[in-house]
Structure 1
Amino acid sequence: MSLTEELGVRDKVLFPRPKTSYWVDGKILRSEISPSAIFLPLPPIAKLRFAFAGALMKFFPAWKPLERVTAHDWFMTFMGETAYGKFFRPLLIGKFGDEYQKVNMAWMWARVKTRTLRLGIFEGGFQAFLDTFARALTDRGVLIHLKTRVDQITLEQMQPTLTIAGVQHSFDRVLSTTSPSLMHKLAPALRETNYGDTLIRLRSIGAICVVVATKQQLLTDGTYWLNLPAASADKRENRFPFLALVEHTNWMDRAHYNGDHLLYLGDYVSPGHEYFRLSDDELTARFLDALPTINPAFSRDWVRKSWVFRAPYAQPIPYINHSEDIPSLQTPMPGVFFA
């Protein structure tokens, strides 16, 4: 927020209140942990344990102790099998697949503790903010090189140096925001160091997003974010082939998007998953096939356009004591930083 104030665009940051929901037993149920929990399809004791565990997550003050226990074990202890199995286990499986029982509780705590009932967005979308930021930087003499491949990061006469298309360019400082594995590949000097060993130990998952512009509203109850359950890490065994259905225009007015209704069909998978190998048309077709389950009126005729986005590095897998494995900002290479 301080950056938007510095840029003079604080008034363009909006905080609408979205409706977030779960798909449970063929129904859409609001997902906020609140007094509405009394209406969840759970036995009375399970409802109480669900509310109790939710309050613990919201009001527990520190993340560090939670890093020493898995989310799976914590939920089994405080929420119990019934509520956990109905709500949070499917979300963990959907996001982390076979690794879901190894994710630490601090990760889940942060999802609940820091969330409010409102979400912030820059008017016109994040690209509009980036364009504003880029203009402010270029006005100050900053050169931005887009679509420029960096082949190597080295030190030449103790100066951080980037090799680009066979030509070396030296700088006072270099900040890399790549994945840990790519940083390990780009900087040969790190490979025989403890820092380099830490980089290659870190595990992560990728993200898939199919964006669909439709002529009609899909989630007619006004839900913005619909969490979809997963019983198995094998996507083909689940009722839905993706983890989240987001109808963005149930949160932001579709007037911002040429009058279209915008759907985000999102999932997290390992970098080797078939979703990274399927063609855009194949992946889109598989995802669209699931939509009549949510709204039987849905037809392919509703679709005006679609886009597919894939990122092999999107979410680190936070195992027990994950903070101890996070590399420091300063690498062993003077002037080279990794974030």
Structure 2
Amino acid sequence: MRIAIVGAGIAGLSAAYDLAGQGYAVTIYEAGDQVGGLASGFRDAAWDWPLERFYHHIFTTDHAIIELTNDIGMRDRLFFRAPVTAQWWRGRGYALDGVLPVLRFPGLPFIDRLRFGLTAFYLKFITQNWQRLEQTTAMAWTERVSGRNVARVIWRPLLEGKFGPHADEVNMAWLWARLRARSFQLGYFRGGFQAFADELCAACVRRGVQVWRQTPVKSVCQTATGWQISAAQHPPADYDAVLVTGAPGLLARLVTTLPAEYLGQLRRLNSMGAVVMTIALRRPLTNGIYWLNLPKDEFPFLALVEHTNFIEPDYYGGDHLIYCGDYLDPNHEYFRLDASALLERFLPALRRINPAFQPEWVRAYWLHRETYAQPIVPVNHSRNIPPIATPLPGLFWASMSQVYPWDRGTNYAVELGRRAARVMHEFAGQYQQTVPSGY
């Protein structure tokens, strides 16, 4: 069987690695000039390591990506640390990355700190019934269990920061999964996540996978015997099966023969986009904080991530690197403003975080945007998610919308890609039974 994969993100590469290992002839089409998808990086001339366009790390509980890291012989380049994560409250950041920091947090009375800690403990270590949790919203559940004060100070800012005007739609299973999968130690690769993506791609190539970069796919058309892909700078090519990775809108655009009912299901999968500005500073901004959650009603972005409080600035030419990131509706003005205009919006916030900050600290800045970055997960969302196999035989789809109830990320991209490979392998077994002898 000949298999085509559209997209060389982590899911597409993971699927290709397993499919090629099972003996299939796999070709990957990638529109960009490098692999990695949302985990891909960029590099300034002064840096030794590339940096992710969108901030990335993994957790000690991310078994899928750790297993794949072992499979491709890269385990010695993965390491874990425990950087400080904090919540902004009344003019400063307070760490909330452990039992004692939570108990010391002055934003809540002591009894509410206990309720917050017990709720988080229950969600992380006790309950496993996420199907029941998805039947109610996260705000309703946390108000009932943690109390209104805890929900207002802790849970609502988290949900509003992530989902903006959709915060009250999000179901409790998403919040459960977010807490369940987190660890205080965070993982990173020597050379960044681009190094991981490049090594995974190289492992695919060693198994015989063809990878066409800078080759956007124009259409995926069903034929009498399978599927045909038309792509830039390449003649149309025929395949027995196709896996499309990416947004629901991409699948709908590439395959115009999808049934109307299935198209309707795709269109009901709403998502937020991501806008992230990376700024190289000549001095550190925070006092050792890696991740600082910010209230959306006070700041022009959701998170301040000082990457070089996690990874030494030595790898980046001495730059102190910060991310100013936000999840926004794709029609938000941040998707239209140019980088310099957006920087002007963000600079006053940096001075508020550190009153000593001056614009002269900025050496360089970069702006990255993606309109499909965070699926919105309403009540009973599991009913909305299409399976990997589409209604059209031989056509498969894998996207971050299908990792639910887990949150999107590289670990679940690996899990999804390997799951897609298993589904396609099952299809291949049925396909081989229908192929005439000597075909």
Q: Distance in 2 between matches of 1:136 and 1:54?
A: 39
Q: CA offsets, 1:173-195, max 9 Å, x none? A: 21111211221122111142x32
Which residue number in structure 1 is paired with residue 366 of structure 2? 307
Deviation at residue 266 of structure 1 after TM alignment: 0.5
Which residue number in structure 2 is paired with residue 26 of structure 1? 91
Q: Distance in 1 between matches of 2:100 and 2:222?
A: 58
The answer to whether 1:318 aligns with 2:377 is: yes
Q: Distance in 1 between matches of 2:147 and 2:266?
A: 36
Which residue number in structure 2 is paired with residue 233 of structure 1? none
Which residue number in structure 2 is paired with residue 234 of structure 1? none
Deviation at residue 250 of structure 1 after TM alignment: 0.5
Read off the aligned partner of 1:118 and give its amino acid letter.
Answer: Q
Residue of structure 1 aligned with 2:213, choices 123, 128, 146: 146
The answer to whether 1:103 aligns with 2:170 is: yes
Which residue number in structure 1 is paired with residue 129 of structure 2? 62
Read off the aligned partner of 2:117 and give its amino acid letter.
Answer: A
Say whether the 8 Å CA contact 1:33–1:54 is kept in structure 2.
no
Which residue number in structure 2 is paired with residue 38 of structure 1? 103
Say whether the 8 Å CA contact 2:98–2:184 is kept in structure 1.
no
Read off the aligned partner of 1:130 and give its amino acid letter.
Answer: A
Which residue number in structure 2 is paired with residue 77 of structure 1? 144
Which residue number in structure 1 is paired with residue 410 of structure 2? none
TM-score (normalizing by structure 2): 0.72
Q: CA offsets, 1:270-324, max 9 Å, x none? A: 0000000101111122122210000011111111111100000001100111111
Residue of structure 2 aligned with 1:242, choices 297, 301, 305: 301
Which residue number in structure 1 is paired with residue 6 of structure 2? none
Q: Which runs of 4+ in 1 moved over 3 A?
A: none
Deviates further, 159-168 or 93-102 = 159-168
Superposition RMSD on alpha carbons, in Å? 1.5
Q: Distance in 1 between matches of 2:377 and 2:303?
A: 20
Which residue number in structure 1 is paired with residue 35 of structure 2? none
Which residue number in structure 1 is paired with residue 425 of structure 2? none
Which residue number in structure 2 is paired with residue 11 of structure 1? 76
Q: Distance in 1 between matches of 2:168 and 2:225?
A: 44
Structure 2 residue matching 1:154: 3-state secondary structure: strand
Q: Distance in 1 between matches of 2:285 and 2:259?
A: 50
The answer to whether 1:207 aligns with 2:274 is: yes
Alignment of 1:247-326 (within 5 A): 247-326=306-385
Alignment of 1:168-183 (within 5 A): 168-183=236-251
Runs (5+) with no aligned partner, structure 2: 1-65, 399-439
Say whether the 8 Å CA contact 2:96–2:105 is kept in structure 1.
no
Say whether the 8 Å CA contact 2:271–2:372 is kept in structure 1.
yes
Q: Distance in 2 between matches of 1:308 and 1:196?
A: 32
Read off the aligned partner of 1:17 and give its amino acid letter.
Answer: A
Which residue number in structure 2 is paired with residue 235 of structure 1? none
Which residue number in structure 1 is paired with residue 67 of structure 2? 2
Deviation at residue 137 of structure 1 after TM alignment: 2.5
Deviation at residue 26 of structure 1 after TM alignment: 1.1
Deviation at residue 216 of structure 1 after TM alignment: 0.8
Which residue number in structure 1 is paired with residue 203 of structure 2? 136
Say whether the 8 Å CA contact 2:289–2:306 is kept in structure 1.
yes
Q: CA offsets, 1:10-63, max 9 Å, x none? A: 110111111110001112111235233222221233223222222222222232
Which residue number in structure 1 is paired with residue 397 of structure 2? 338
Runs (5+) with no aligned partner, structure 1: 231-237
Q: CA offsets, 1:103-122, max 9 Å, x none? A: 00111111111111111111
Deviation at residue 134 of structure 1 after TM alignment: 2.2
Q: Provide the aligned length of Structure 1 versus Structure 2.
A: 330
Residue of structure 2 aligned with 1:227, choices 293, 312, 316: 293
Residue of structure 2 aligned with 1:94, choices 155, 161, 171: 161
Which residue number in structure 1 is paired with residue 388 of structure 2? 329
The answer to whether 1:53 aligns with 2:119 is: yes
Read off the aligned partner of 2:198 and give its amino acid letter.
Answer: D
Q: Distance in 1 between matches of 2:143 and 2:166?
A: 16
TM-score (normalizing by structure 1): 0.93
Say whether the 8 Å CA contact 2:143–2:150 is kept in structure 1.
no
Say whether the 8 Å CA contact 2:225–2:240 is kept in structure 1.
no
Deviation at residue 142 of structure 1 after TM alignment: 2.3
CA spacing shift, 1:44–1:4, aligned 2, 3 Å: closer
Structure 2 residue matching 1:48: 3-state secondary structure: helix
